[in-house]
Amino acid sequence: MNLRFPFHVGGTGRTSTVDDESHLRDLIAQVLFTAPGERVMRPDFGSGLLALTFEPNSLELAATTQFLVQGSLQQWLGHLIAVDTVEVSTVDGMLEVMVRYTILRTRRRRTDRFTAPETGVPA
């Protein structure tokens, strides 16, 4: 089992854990929502996605976001997942990022949706 992200204590008083697939989703969220320079020992970690939420909505923004997200995921999680597609859209002033990927260890395909700014609720 893996520690849940963000870290918290469960109802039993123990550290909350998640299964492997949920852990991968948490790792993807960490890459997406960490700004480069935010981590002290890994200043280039992250995607810069949140900085783009303040840019004017346009096709160029969607393409830039798609490029940044796919490149960041391949760089930081390429040993765990193979990114199949990344689709970016805007909904009511929020960026929605859909990531389709294959888990390398199991060859299982998954699709997860993320929103920026993060709502705290899986999409």
Q: What is the pLDDT along the chain (123 residues), one digit of tens a residue?
A: 676 666 677 788 887 777 888 889 989 998 988 888 888 898 889 887 777 766 776 777 778 778 888 999 999 999 999 999 998 777 776 778 899 999 999 999 999 998 876 554 444
Q: Is the pTM of this model over 0.85?
A: no
d(CA 27, CA 83): 13
d(CA 116, CA 29): 10
d(CA 53, CA 49): 7
Beta bridge partners of 2: 18
In a domain, 78, yes or no: yes
Predicted pLDDT at 80: 95
In a domain, 72, yes or no: yes
2-3 and 17-18: which strand pairing?
Answer: antiparallel
How many separate domains does the chain show? Answer: 1
In a domain, 46, yes or no: yes
In a domain, 24, yes or no: yes
Predicted pLDDT at 34: 87
Predicted pLDDT at 123: 45
In a domain, 66, yes or no: yes
* DSSP, res 9: B
Q: State the residue range of the domain holding 13.
A: 2-116
CATH number, domain with residue 21: 3.10.450.40
